[in-house]
A and B are shown apart, each in its own frame.
Chain A
């Protein structure tokens, strides 16, 4: 039996951990849930209970063939409009990138009644798997790296071409070229090639034994083995989410770890300096040797093995493992020369997931979803944003799939507010909206000292984001407030409100910021009903 927990939806109710304690465990004293994606068969009844009990139905199970959803498929068909029936039966859809977004889109296409030919092309030879557990329960050693397969893959009838990369796209001929020299023709194409880890920039140093990145199953497995061998010290380069999670696991395993972060605090890019300072405290309380404002200038080895690191403050550090957690590089190389608007920023597309060509014209038959996509955010001046979040990949894949088999009048816009989570130091950190365009931040509920609070982010007097530490049951409320263009700082009386709401600077690293003069509100819950509305100023 396989399962995945949609932690974007999970609100930490712990019903699963009560009913199947060996498959789901709560860490810390809050809402941090870790789970075994392939629990053993003797837990079957318990896991069923857990999945049925989850109040937000966040647990997606795979215990064999999916029962027929014809009733809903019919409802979906009604919402599709009069798409060419011929295409639904005999059309050819190709998906490049067979991971989270690709698999979800394939499932949605089949579920919504597409019976034509479906091909998934993926350069990883393993079956599609889920990445978030890699930096958490897998590194910790609780769950083997191979036990992260995405559920319900087998149920998707498709031609799975795994282990072969796409190397080119011929838009005129509607063909995808593959590394094995063959080509696959399509009527509609979905690009879900995601990102890869940004490697350590010096290739010789990157090649040293003990220098790693973390993006794939193999990465996670190698790292887990190194951790299990109890290194004298691990160096984590970069204190973003992945780096922080790796450091957290090191401490859990009682492995000494140094984190080197060029910015003033961990997670600054996502949470800003003010809230980042709280994350810094969490690192230090857990025993991480956190060094902010320093860069790693060199990694040195002996006999091909990593031995030490040099830092920009002149110090050196003896380490035997270094994890470069420097963010991602979008997998667009194969699109070079294709005529699509693909570049280091990803593949730009409209809110309906249709790719732009290099002229900025929207294409009709090429769609994009997941980490590689760059989509307009109406709430944020229609700026094109790439969101490397699990929940975004899932939501966008579903919208893309729907639109690929719907007529113009029945297309959905991908207007889901960005949401993500991170599990570290026994705390569940969640974010909604786009905090990093904010100029101010204020803790609106809870207590920073207890590490249980809601921070709200404002930009020019409007709420644009919220971040919770072990307070995810409030997240949706703030998401709704953001959609409605609520005022910042929050003016209402709430429970658990600090005595005074005194906003301070959000302290995000400077970056180009979109203009946000027009007021846009989002409405609707179902993707079919989601709408953005421009309000007269």
Chain B
């Protein structure tokens, strides 16, 4: 009699049927902290091992280095953005882009966006008035960060329908679970090319008449390390547009969902908007937008947790499983809004850190912005939505297991309180 092996735990995680609640599977996964898969890759699911590998220089994010047969020129014609490169190239590219985004060269930029963020949030919530039921995703959590990243980069907001399609294809390419890999790869390359062409036109226009935006700065400014080449610029801009587009939406939506599931916390947030500051950290741990990092490989043999990861093997870091590792976090399946209260830090050795933004040199570039966006969004929603209730729980999820989040979040409300002055 022929029996088929049951699907591996990781395969079950990729299965859309488990999208609404993958956490029990993560617990299963953690029983083998570093699990070799049939295809030779390793799935890492425990906190300490993930942190170790995020900081391990024997791990590469650069597929060109993998020595694979298809290494070489990317079919899209666009080189990898810095998220898929290693030092020293990674550090140089990231530093040059950061020159116009954050300290030390532009320290006030993100902090200075706060009034704009508040204005956008207020406008979007105003727009919900008079509707008994709203979709938090389509009416708020998606348009908000997209507008922000467009304004930051200097991309016309009205072009959103065009690049949304490309962004979607790029994000789909991260999903190892569905469809034919070759087809996925073809779509990714095509989307990269199209997005590149679109952005190339914009960059040209910004170079001719620069504005206060990031693309203009990158296209015109020559820092001590020189300017990005045109093609490097396109790669970076694509990365920022996609990353700024497909992640924060999930954090905000997961935040609303989690608050509606914990009404006592929602009530506290309503009374104390400062709570949003550290509540967002717990959200990044408890319901993170990025569930795993699929794009790494070992440059050499790595001994870890009693296993040897073979040089050349792919390594998948399951951030969402690590953030709920009971060996690391006290009572990990509990949503504790005070877990990251800074008043607690430094007392004894609290170790409740989360992996929501990754770690090491690829630590999320946009983290300060994503945090502010979500803090402001959740505090304002909590304050202004009157008697919000989940219409369906669990909500329908997007298919992607990597960037996991609800596709819609229908919420019934009684009213919207007026905007503060």
B262 to chain A, nearest CB (A): 18
Q: Are B343 and A13 in contact (CB under 8 A)?
A: no
Give the complex CA separation of A86 and B239 in angstroms. Answer: 62
Contact B347 A446 (CB under 8 A): no
Taking CB atoms, residues of chain A closer than 8 Å to B350 are 57, 72
B104 in contact (CB, < 8 A): yes
**Alpha-carbon distance between A497 and B103 when the two chains are bound, in angstroms:** 27
Contact indicator B110/A19 (Cβ below 8 Å): yes
The listed residue (A75, A452, A476) touching B55 by CB distance below 8 A is A476
At the interface, is chain A mostly helix, strand, loop or mixed? mixed
Contact A398 B111 (CB under 8 A): no
A18 and chain B: residue at smallest CB distance:
B368
Whole-angstrom distance from the CB of B353 to the nearest CB of chain A?
6
Contact with A along B269-281 (1 / 0, CB 8 A): 0000010011011
Asked if B48 lies at the interface with its beta carbon under 8 angstroms from chain A, I say yes
Interface residues of B in 253-295 (CB under 8 A from A): 274, 277-278, 280-281
Take A18-B111, A18-B368, A492-B300 as given contacts and tell me if A51 and B103 are in contact as well, using a CB distance cutoff of 8 Å: no
| Complex: chain A residue closest to B369, CB-CB | A18
Per a CB cutoff under 8 Å, which of A28, A474, A526 touches B104? Answer: A28
Contacts A19-B372, A446-B87 given; does A57 touch B107 at CB 8 Å: no
| B182 touches A (CB below 8 Å) | no
Query: What per-residue 1/0 map shows which CB atoms of A20-62 lie under 8 Å from chain B?
Result: 1100011111000000000000000110110111011101110
CB distance from A246 to the nearest CB of B (A): 22
**B56 near A: Cβ within 8 Å?**
yes
Asked if A525 meets B48 with Cβ closer than 8 Å, knowing A20-B111, A492-B58, the reply is yes
Distance (Å) between the CB of B276 and the closest chain A CB?
Answer: 10
Of the candidates A26, A48, A61, A112, the one whose C-beta lies within 8 Å of that of B107 is: A26
Q: Which residues from 15 to 46 on chain B have a C-beta closer than 8 Å to any C-beta of chain A?
A: none
Is A111 an interface residue, CB under 8 A from the partner? Answer: yes
Contact A446 B88 (CB under 8 A): yes
Q: Which residues of B contact A67 (CB under 8 A)?
A: 338, 341, 343-344
Task: Kindly identify which residue among B87, B342, B343, B348 contacts A496, using a CB–CB cutoff of 8 Å.
Answer: B87
**Interface residue ranges of B136-189 to A (CB < 8 Å):** none
* Distance (whole angstroms) from the CB of A337 to the closest CB of chain B: 37
| Contact status A494-B48, CB under 8 Å | no
Interface residues of B in 75-120 (CB under 8 A from A): 86-88, 91, 95, 102-104, 107-108, 110-111
Let me know if B245 is at the binding interface, CB within 8 A: no
- Specify which chain A residues have a CB less than 8 angstroms from the CB of B330 in the assembled complex: 71-72, 75
Question: Would B371 and A496 count as touching, CB distance under 8 A?
Answer: no
Interface presence of B57 (CB below 8 A): yes
Q: How far is the CA of A502 from the CA of B57 in the complex (A)?
A: 19
> Is B359 positioned at the interface, with any CB of A under 8 Å from its CB?
yes
Alpha-carbon separation in the docked complex, A11 to B146 (Å): 30
Cα separation A3 to B349 with both chains bound (whole Å): 17
B375 touches A (CB below 8 Å): yes
Query: A66 interface residue, CB < 8 Å from B?
Result: yes
Residue of B nearest to A57 (CB): B345
Distance in angstroms between the alpha carbons of A21 and B108 in the assembled complex: 6
Contact A6 B300, CB 8 Å, known A55-B363, A445-B57 = no
Nearest CB in chain B: distance from A63 CB, A: 7
Alpha-carbon separation in the docked complex, A26 to B86 (Å):
23
Residue of A nearest to B278 (CB): A52
B72 contacts chain A at the CB level, 8 A cutoff: no
Using an 8 Å CB-CB cutoff, how does the interface string of B321-365 with A read, 1 for contact, 0 for none?
000000000100000001011111111111101000101110100
Chain B residues with Cβ under 8 A from A60's Cβ?
A: 345-346
CB distance from A441 to the nearest CB of B (A): 17
- B127 at the binding interface (Cβ < 8 Å): no
CB-based contact B368/A53 at 8 Å: yes
A447 interfacial contact with B, CB 8 Å: yes
Chain A residue contacts of B346, Cβ below 8 A: 6, 57, 60, 152
Q: Using an 8 Å CB-CB cutoff, how does the interface string of A462-484 with B read, 1 for contact, 0 for none?
A: 00000000000110110010000
Residues in chain A near residue B192, CB distance under 8 A: none
B117 to nearest A CB, angstroms? 13
* A17 CB within 8 Å of chain B: yes
CB <8 Å contact, A63 and B348: no
B104, B108, B277: which contacts A48 (Cβ < 8 A)? B277
Whether B367 and A474, one on each chain, are in contact in the complex, defined by CB atoms closer than 8 angstroms, is no
Q: How far is B329's CA from A526's CA once the two chains are assembled, in angstroms?
A: 13
A15→B302 CA distance, assembly (Å): 30
- Chain A: residues with Cβ within 8 Å of the partner, total of 60
The answer to whether B371 touches A53, judged by C-beta atoms less than 8 angstroms apart, is yes
- Decide if B368 touches A19 in the complex (CB within 8 Å): yes
A527→B88 CA distance, assembly (Å): 35
* Chain B 296-308 per-residue mask, 1 if CB under 8 angstroms from chain A, else 0: 0001111000000
Interchain CB contact under 8 A, A69 and B300? no
Confirm or deny: B420 has a beta carbon within 8 angstroms of a beta carbon on chain A. Answer: no
Chain A hits for B86, CB < 8 A: 495-496
Check B274 against A14 for contact (C-beta < 8 Å).
Answer: no
**Do A13 and B103 have beta carbons less than 8 Å apart?**
no
Contact yes or no, B342 A48, CB < 8 A: yes
Convert A447-458 into 0s and 1s, putting 1 for each residue whose CB lies closer than 8 angstroms to a CB of B: 100101000000
User: Do A494 and B357 form a contact, CB below 8 Å, given A14-B103, A19-B110, A29-B224?
Assistant: no
A286 CB–B CB distance under 8 Å: no
Q: Which residues of A contact B55 (CB under 8 A)?
A: 473-474, 476-477
The answer to whether B299 and A492 have CB atoms under 8 Å apart is yes
Taken together as a complex, chains A and B put the C-alpha atoms of A48 and B281 apart, in Å, by 12
> Closest CB-CB distance, B283 to chain A, in whole Å?
12
Q: Is there contact, CB below 8 Å, between A447 and B88?
A: yes
Q: Assess A495 versus B108: contact at CB under 8 Å? Given A53-B367, A477-B55.
A: no
Residues A477 and B56 in contact in the complex (CB < 8 Å), given A48-B277, A52-B342, A57-B350 = yes
Q: Is A493 an interface residue (CB 8 A)?
A: yes
**Residue B238 at the chain A interface, CB threshold 8 Å:** no
Question: Which residues of the partner chain A approach B88 to less than 8 Å between Cβ atoms?
Answer: 446-447, 450, 452, 496
Please tell me if A76 contacts chain B, counting CB pairs below 8 Å.
yes
Interface centre among B52, B302, B347, B350, by most A CB within 10 Å? B347
Shortest Cβ distance from B99 into A: residue: A29
Asked if residues B57 and A494 are in contact (CB atoms below 8 Å), the reply is yes
Q: A97 an interface residue at 8 Å Cβ cutoff? A: no
Known A49-B277, A53-B281, A492-B301; 11 more pairs at CB < 8 Å: A17-B103, A18-B368, A21-B107, A25-B104, A26-B103, A49-B372, A52-B281, A66-B347, A446-B88, A492-B300, A495-B57
24 contacts between A and B (CB under 8 A): A14-B103, A15-B367, A15-B368, A17-B103, A19-B371, A21-B108, A25-B104, A29-B104, A29-B224, A48-B274, A52-B340, A52-B342, A53-B367, A53-B371, A57-B342, A66-B347, A67-B341, A72-B330, A111-B347, A445-B57, A474-B57, A480-B52, A495-B59, A526-B349
What are the 7 A-B residue pairs with the smallest beta carbon separation, nearest first?
Answer: A60-B346, A51-B342, A494-B57, A18-B368, A496-B87, A17-B103, A21-B107
